[in-house]
Amino acid sequence: MQALTDRVKPVDRRPLTFVEKLYLPAIWKGMAITFKHIFQKKATVNYPEEKRPFSPVFRGLHILNRDEEGRERCTACGLCAVACPAEAITMEAAERKPGEEHLYREEKYAARYEINMLRCIFCGFCEEACPKDAIYLTETFAPANYQRKGFIYGKEDLLIPDPKEKQTV
Amino acid sequence: MTIDWYFILEKLILISGVLALSLIVAMYSTWGERKVAAVIQDRRGPNRAGPLGLLQPLADGGKLFFKEEIIPASAHRFLFILGPSLAMLVACMTSAVIPWGDTLVIAGQEISLQVADINIGILYIFGVVSLGVYGIMLGGWASNNKYSLLASVRAASQIISYELAMGLSLIALLMLTGSLSLKDIVEQQRHGLWNVVYQPLGFLIFLVCAFAECNRTPFDLPEAENELNGGYHLEYSSMKLGFYLFAEYINMFISSALMASLYFGGYSFPGMDSLGLPHNVVTILGFLALFLKILVFLFLFMWVRWTIPRFRYDQLMRLGWNVMIPLALVNMLITGAIVLFRQG
């Protein structure tokens, strides 16, 4: 039959020669290969002591940003939720009351802001969509949890600490 | 007749020493096996329990002790328990005739570092090792599980087939040494060349058969887990399983010691008698030399295991009957002819 591609390799069906029938040379060759591997670099990383560095563009867990005065930047515009292909982001908007100007940057803010880390695919579209520079992806990843509800991160998990409070500490 | 209490005490200490040694070596063989497997596969192996993972065997043993002891309802209770006990007992018994070193002189008393220097040492070992298959056979049969039974039938036929070639290769060696006592054989090598020089083919046959006798890869068909769901110890749990696994490692240790004694000079090493050191120091050095040889053989066992895939059963049988036994016979004939020629 004519070969259909030029990658056909005929199977070598010649009977074993005497030397091949002894098996021992082949066994010795194999053992030399395994012995060489003893001295090769180990593929394992000693995990807790030693961590593989993330790439500089790694997209991990989200944070909600504050401005220099410690006010939340998020205005609950919902663009991140719209951009999210996994529909992991939910939010509820609220109006800023007089006297809360030191808490929220604009007159509308997110009263509730949740990301379901089990749905999130860490694509970073929310970061790109945000007009207020309020959401960023960091270089950590979500730790393990026993229950699904532990993976729904609320505002208290996502908001970065107030830079002004940090100075007082 | 007076009882020589001193003699009994000496032997008791020696027996417990040898037993403890073989148990510790067997324990650390499991660690060594995992380490060798790891480094050959570019991994690190156990390194969490203690420095270099050296406490790993203790953790494994402790785990085995705390596991639930299960005896299947349809198993033959007595034989089910007898199986692993016999395997363990037989494995420990073989160490009795191996000369672990020359004599130690303590307070004018000469103490031999051999539990029993019987003049049929090799026959004794063969007899005891052949008993080992009963442990496997009984365990496999008493489990009342078809896979266990299949595995133990495999083990029995494999061990019987390879014992023949092993015995034949040894007969050639015995023609040269003219003695069945292991101590004599080692002493002869101490003053001459190692037996492996005279019997390279015999050693090769013995080595291959030792792999088969210990159920080690490439002859680990009784434990072919992907064909037999585990092997003859399929129904075993807890320390009874531990006994089977442990017996295998002790067997490995003893056959390494045997190969070192028969073919590689046992406790003797080149230049042993011209060191000019005190007798006891030379004896201890000799013991260390033997230990080193054993470790090399143990490493070989593990190295082969992580290199060569398992034989198919018919290949195993063909190798045993069509290759090993004729080869051993030829080796025996040639050796016999040479011995006769040199005498005449």
Spell out the CATH class of A62-168.
alpha beta
Lowest mean pLDDT among A80-94, B221-235, B242-256: B221-235
Residue A159 pLDDT greater than 90, yes or no: no
For the stretch B281-339, pLDDT in tens is 888 888 888 889 999 999 999 998 888 888 888 888 888 888 889 989 999 999 889 88
- What type of residue is A82? V
**pTM of the full predicted structure?**
0.79
Residue B1 pLDDT greater than 70, yes or no: no
Residues B183 and A42: their CA atoms lie apart, in Å, by 44
Please tell me which of the candidates B41, B44, B304 has its beta carbon nearest to residue A31. B304
CB pairs under 8 A between A and B: 36
- ipTM field: 0.75
- A40–B42 C-beta distance less than 8 A: yes
Lowest mean pLDDT among A16-20, A92-96, B226-230, B256-260: B226-230
Please tell me which of the candidates A31, A35, A43 has its beta carbon nearest to residue B43. A43
Average pLDDT in the B88-110 region? 81
The secondary structure of residue B60, as a DSSP letter, is H
Average pLDDT in the A75-87 region? 92
Tell me whether B41 touches chain A (CB under 8 Å). Answer: yes
pLDDT of residue A169: 42
State the SS3 of A32-92.
HHHHHHHCCCCCCCCCCCCCCCCCCCCCCCEEECECCCCCECCCCCCHHHHHCCCCCEEEE
Q: State the average pLDDT for chain B.
A: 85
Asked, as a colleague might, if the bond just before B326 is cis with ω within 30 of 0, I would say: no
Q: Which residues contact B339 (CB under 8 A, 6 or more apart)?
A: B175, B176
Residue A54 pLDDT greater than 90, yes or no: no
Residues of chain B with Cβ-Cβ distance to A24 below 8 Å are: 204
Residues B185 and B121: their CA atoms lie apart, in Å, by 10
Residue A167 pLDDT greater than 70, yes or no: no
Residues of chain A with Cβ-Cβ distance to B40 below 8 Å are: 34-35, 37-38
Instruction: Please tell me the total number of residues recorded for chain B in this structure.
Output: 344
Residues A155 and B299: their CA atoms lie apart, in Å, by 58
Res. A166 pLDDT band, cuts 50 70 90:
low
Residue B110 pLDDT greater than 50, yes or no: yes
Distance from CA of A86 to the nearest CA of B (A): 37
Residue A84 pLDDT greater than 90, yes or no: yes
Residue in this structure with the two tokens 């531990």, named with its chain if needed: B242
Tell me whether B312 touches chain A (CB under 8 Å). Answer: no
Asked, as a colleague might, if the bond just before B218 is cis with ω within 30 of 0, I would say: yes
Residue B82 pLDDT greater than 50, yes or no: yes
User: Residues 277-306, chain B: which have Cβ within 8 Å of A?
Assistant: 303-304, 306
pLDDT of residue B247: 87
Average pLDDT in the A7-33 region? 85
Please tell me which of the candidates A31, A43, A46 has its beta carbon nearest to residue B42. A43
Residues B54 and B56: their CA atoms lie apart, in Å, by 5
Residues B10 and B265: their CA atoms lie apart, in Å, by 26
For the stretch A118-139, pLDDT in tens is 999 999 999 999 998 899 998 8
Q: State the average pLDDT for chain A.
A: 86
Tell me whether B44 touches chain A (CB under 8 Å). Answer: yes
For the stretch B9-35, pLDDT in tens is 888 888 888 888 888 888 888 899 998
Tell me whether A35 touches chain B (CB under 8 Å). Answer: yes
Res. A17 pLDDT band, cuts 50 70 90:
confident
Average pLDDT in the A107-117 region? 91
